[in-house]
Amino acid sequence: MNELQDLYREVILDHNRSPRNFGELDDADRIVEGVNPLCGDKMTLYLKLDGDKVEDVRFTGTGCAISVASSSLMTERIKGATTTESLELFERIHDMLAAPDFDVATANADLEKLAALSGVREYPTRVKCASLAWHALKNALTGSEAKVTTE
């Protein structure tokens, strides 16, 4: 039960229950769809850029608590950030979720609320749930593909 509480931290449960920035964005200039074929989860990420800045970001979709919370936390964090900062964040989150040598203790300092996603490290089958939104973000910013999957 304790380990489960490490995965399902209050922040995660809260963002799952009431996801922030949920809904479509009418004047988005980047729309990227993300799917996790393993569990059928789908999310769509809407980005509105103002020069180098993420002016607005929203998402829609269905998914497990980890994937919904990760999307919600991500949008909250990158709204107002620069694209460079957002891409750096992508790398940092990527490491936090899966890199073997990542020092979780350092995560709280810069990642703040996002550090709650570090519980996923102990659940390899769930890393894809947490990373789906981030892959969608990366694609939205680098413009490689309009559709991402975690496979």
Partner 1 sequence: MITSMSPSKPRGRDLITDIASLRGDFPVLQQQVRGRPLAYLDSAASAQRPQAVIDAMVAQDSHNHANVHRGVHELSERSTDAYEGARTKLRRFVNAESTDEIIFTSGTTESINLVAASLGTQILAPEDEVLVTRMEHHSNIVPWQLICERTGAKVVPAPITKEGELDLDGFRRCLTKRTKIVAITHVSNALGTINPIKELIALAHDVGALVLVDGAQAAAHLPIDVQDLDCDFYALSGHKMFGPTGTGILYGKATLLDSMPPYKSGGEMILTVSFEGTRFNTLPHKFEAGTPNITGVVGLGAAVDYLSAIDPDALADHEHELLDYATDAIKEIPGARLIGTASSKAGVVSFLIDPIHAHDLGTIVDREGVAIRTGHHCAMPVMEFFGIAATARASFALYNNRDDIESLLKGIRIAQEIFK
Using CB under 8 A, list all residues that contact partner 1: 1, 3-5, 7-8, 13, 17, 38-42, 62-66, 123, 125-126, 129
Using the minimum distance from each CB to partner 1, give the nearer residue, 39 or 98: 39
Q: How far is the CB of 46 from partner 1 (least distance, A)?
A: 20
Q: Are 75 and 136 in contact (CB under 8 A)?
A: no
Reported residue count of the chain is 151
Q: How far is the CB of 90 from partner 1 (least distance, A)?
A: 23
Q: How far is the CB of 65 from partner 1 (least distance, A)?
A: 5
User: Residue 20 corresponds to which tokens in the numbers above?
Assistant: 């922030």
Which residues share a beta bridge with 35? Answer: 42, 149
Using the minimum distance from each CB to partner 1, give the nearer residue, 33 or 85: 33
Rg (CA), the chain: 14
Using the minimum distance from each CB to partner 1, give the nearer residue, 28 or 45: 45
Q: How many CA atoms lie within 13 A of 103 on its CB side?
A: 4
